């Protein structure tokens, strides 16, 4: 019984939806502010991501004619639920949840759901921009999943367990460095950030898979993306950071590492332009394959 | 690595965009918010005629007074009303109009002034002093012409002319 209560707190509070939303909005504001400063602009005020969510929640939802209502409302909710559960699984410092053997596999599946929901949303929205965005998201997924999954599987193989708590608590070795590099290679494409911002290319695809989304469903989708950002940065932090003795210090290191990763991703995004989908897939099937191969070799060595 | 140098330089440099409070002053001749000197307005409707988007309208009030109405939401700040106004009652000040919160803010409704004539006692719209001076010159003393309605003014002018030729 107490396990069930702990898992609910982990899902809803920390590291779940509430803390994930707050931390995600902070990281999102950091991205936008840093991008602005790098472009000599002012950037949005601190609470802007929160204001954006509240604004979208208050708008009327307009469903285009012929679009399946159940999909239109259900896909954002499925995306949010999956990412919330993924967040709850991550063994962040001071997390009340207790992991189970194999939760790394569950985490991988849960983190794939937002991408699948985005692809389905684009295809079901009866918009040409949505369909092209969804198709490019699917293709890009074929690319970035190679180093992403290889990094996680390599660490799990090297540690010898598919339990996230065991993987997080393992001492740092060469495998962690190589796997972190492969993870970071996949991260900009997962976050749809330059140079891999192909699925949501505003100048080419208006809104990508989200073109026809508005109102509360769009707010839920954006919240799911925000939580996905926190989940991915948190996952990397948990894999790479060594455990110090003090939980508070662990927590501070966790937050600082997330901020550092986001700052790096933002600087990359501000300094690069968008590449084409075939260039992106070729990049991932060349360098992603190399990184994946290297991490698996180091893991099995 | 030019982009890297550019990014580092931008990080240390100040922002180029202005906040609303820091905007530079408008250039001379800038056409901003419309100002209406109601005391000089005669209700001639030339401005309503010249206004292409229909921002200026003259309406009759319930008590028979004429109202000059202005909707800044429709205004294109072309200044044709100020150019055509015979009494120079309209001017566009060199200041950007304030950002409106809703459609109704900034709307003006000025009553065209009316007062009883010094001669016949009927309500009339007085002409402003510069217009009196321009139209009547030295024919009739200005302080008399200002208080007379059109009929009484015409009578006063014809009396003045007949008196000169007597």
Output b/e per residue, A258-272; b: 16+ Cβ within 10 A: beebbeebbbbbbbe
The whole-number pLDDT of residue B166 equals 54
Output b/e per residue, A145-158; b: 16+ Cβ within 10 A: bbbbbbbbbbbbbb
The whole-number pLDDT of residue A130 equals 93
The whole-number pLDDT of residue B12 equals 86
The first and second tokens of residue B38, run together, are 């109601």
Average pLDDT over residues A201-216: 87
Average pLDDT over residues A261-290: 94
Q: Is pLDDT at B147 greater than 90 in this prediction?
A: no
Average pLDDT over residues A256-268: 95
Average pLDDT over residues B1-17: 89
Among the listed ranges A40-54, A113-127, B96-110, B148-162, which one has the minimum average pLDDT value? B96-110
| Cα radius of gyration rounded to whole Å, chain A | 19
d(CA A182, CA A190): 13
Average pLDDT over residues A104-115: 95
Tell me if chain A has a CB within 8 Å of the CB of B104.
no
Q: Is pLDDT at A163 greater than 70 in this prediction?
A: yes
Tell me if chain A has a CB within 8 Å of the CB of B21.
no
Q: Which of A41, A42, A271 sits opposite B7 (nearest CB)?
A: A271
Q: Does the model's ipTM exceed the 0.90 cut?
A: no
Summary mean pLDDT of chain A: 92
Give tens-digit pLDDT for B86-117.
999 999 988 877 777 777 778 889 999 888 88
Tell me if chain A has a CB within 8 Å of the CB of B99.
no
Give tens-digit pLDDT for A185-199.
999 999 999 899 998
The whole-number pLDDT of residue B122 equals 86
Task: Count CB atoms within 10 A of the CB of residue A144.
Answer: 23
Mutate to test the interface with B, among A30, A36, A40 (most CBs of B within 10 A): A40
Cβ-Cβ contacts under 8 Å for B92 (sequence gap 6 or more)? B31, B32, B33, B34, B35, B77, B79, B82
The whole-number pLDDT of residue B165 equals 64
Peptide bond into A195 cis (omega under 30): yes
User: Which residue has tokens 């993987």?
Assistant: A167
Tell me if chain A has a CB within 8 Å of the CB of B4.
yes
| Backbone dihedral angles phi then psi of residue B90, each to the nearest 5 degrees | -110, 140
Q: Is pLDDT at A111 greater than 80 in this prediction?
A: yes
Residues B146, B132 contacting (CB under 8 angstroms): yes
- Distance (Å) from the C-alpha of residue A47 to the closest C-alpha of chain B? 17
Cβ-Cβ contacts under 8 Å for A291 (sequence gap 6 or more)? A147, A150, A151, A178, A181, A182, A185
Q: Is pLDDT at A24 greater than 70 in this prediction?
A: yes
Give tens-digit pLDDT for B61-75.
888 788 999 998 899
Tell me if chain A has a CB within 8 Å of the CB of B14.
yes
d(CA A49, CA B75): 35
pLDDT interval class at A258 (50, 70, 90): very high
pLDDT interval class at A6 (50, 70, 90): confident
Asked whether the beta carbons of residue B7 and residue A37 sit closer than 8 angstroms, the reply is no
Q: A204 vs A299, which has greater pLDDT?
A: A299
Q: Is pLDDT at A152 greater than 80 in this prediction?
A: yes
Mutate to test the interface with B, among A38, A267, A269 (most CBs of B within 10 A): A38
Q: Is pLDDT at A183 greater than 80 in this prediction?
A: yes
Asked whether the beta carbons of residue A40 and residue B15 sit closer than 8 angstroms, the reply is yes
Q: Is pLDDT at A1 greater than 70 in this prediction?
A: no
pLDDT interval class at A2 (50, 70, 90): low
Q: Is pLDDT at A232 greater than 90 in this prediction?
A: yes
Peptide bond into A108 cis (omega under 30): no
Average pLDDT over residues A162-176: 89
Q: Is pLDDT at B132 greater than 90 in this prediction?
A: no
User: Which residue has tokens 């509070």?
Assistant: A13
Residues A111, A203 contacting (CB under 8 angstroms): no
Average pLDDT over residues A147-174: 91
């Amino acid at each position: 019984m107490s396990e069930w209560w702990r898992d609910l707190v982990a899902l809803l509070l920390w590291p779940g939806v509430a803390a994930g939303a707050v931390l995600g909005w902070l990281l999102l504001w950091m991205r936008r502010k840093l991008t602005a400063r790098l472009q000599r602009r002012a950037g949005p005020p601190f609470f802007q991501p929160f204001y954006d969510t509240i604004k979208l929640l208050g708008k009327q939802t307009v469903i285009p004619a012929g679009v399946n209502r159940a999909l239109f409302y259900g896909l954002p909710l499925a995306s949010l639920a999956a990412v919330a559960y993924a967040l709850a699984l991550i063994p962040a410092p001071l997390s009340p949840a207790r992991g189970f053997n194999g939760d790394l596999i569950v985490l991988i599946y849960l983190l794939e759901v937002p991408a699948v929901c985005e692809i389905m949303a684009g295809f079901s929205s009866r918009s040409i921009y949505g369909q092209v965005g969804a198709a490019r998201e699917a293709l890009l997924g074929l690319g970035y999943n190679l180093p992403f999954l290889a990094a996680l599987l390599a660490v799990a193989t090297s540690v010898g367990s598919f339990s996230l708590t065991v993987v997080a608590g393992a001492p740092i070795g060469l495998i962690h460095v190589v796997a972190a590099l492969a993870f970071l290679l996949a991260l900009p494409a997962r976050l749809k950030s330059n140079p891999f911002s192909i699925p949501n290319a505003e100048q080419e695809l208006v809104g990508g898979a989200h073109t026809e989304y508005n109102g509360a469903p769009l707010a839920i989708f954006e919240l799911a993306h925000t939580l996905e950002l926190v989940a991915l940065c948190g996952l990397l932090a948990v894999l790479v950071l060594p455990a110090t003795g003090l939980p508070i210090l662990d927590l501070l290191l966790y937050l600082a590492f997330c901020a550092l990763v986001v700052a790096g991703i933002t600087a990359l995004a501000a300094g690069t332009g968008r590449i084409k989908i075939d260039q992106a897939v070729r990049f991932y099937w060349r360098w992603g394959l190399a990184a994946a191969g290297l991490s698996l070799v180091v893991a099995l060595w | 690595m030019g982009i890297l140098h550019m990014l580092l330089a931008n990080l240390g440099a100040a922002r180029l965009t202005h906040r609303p409070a820091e905007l530079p002053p408008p250039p001379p001749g800038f056409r901003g918010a419309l100002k209406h000197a109601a005391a000089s307005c005669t209700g001639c409707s030339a401005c309503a005629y010249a206004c292409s988007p229909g921002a200026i309208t003259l309406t009759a009030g319930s008590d028979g007074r004429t109202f000059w109405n202005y909707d800044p939401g429709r205004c294109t700040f072309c200044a044709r009303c100020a150019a055509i106004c015979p009494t120079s009652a309209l001017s566009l000040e060199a200041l950007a109009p304030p950002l409106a919160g809703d459609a109704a803010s900034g709307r003006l409704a000025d009553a065209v002034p009316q007062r009883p004539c010094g001669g016949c006692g009927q309500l009339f719209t007085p002409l402003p002093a510069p217009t009196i001076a321009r139209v009547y010159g030295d024919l009739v003393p200005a302080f008399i012409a200002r208080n007379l309605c059109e009929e009484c003014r015409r009578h006063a002018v014809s009396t003045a002319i007949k008196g000169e030729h007597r």
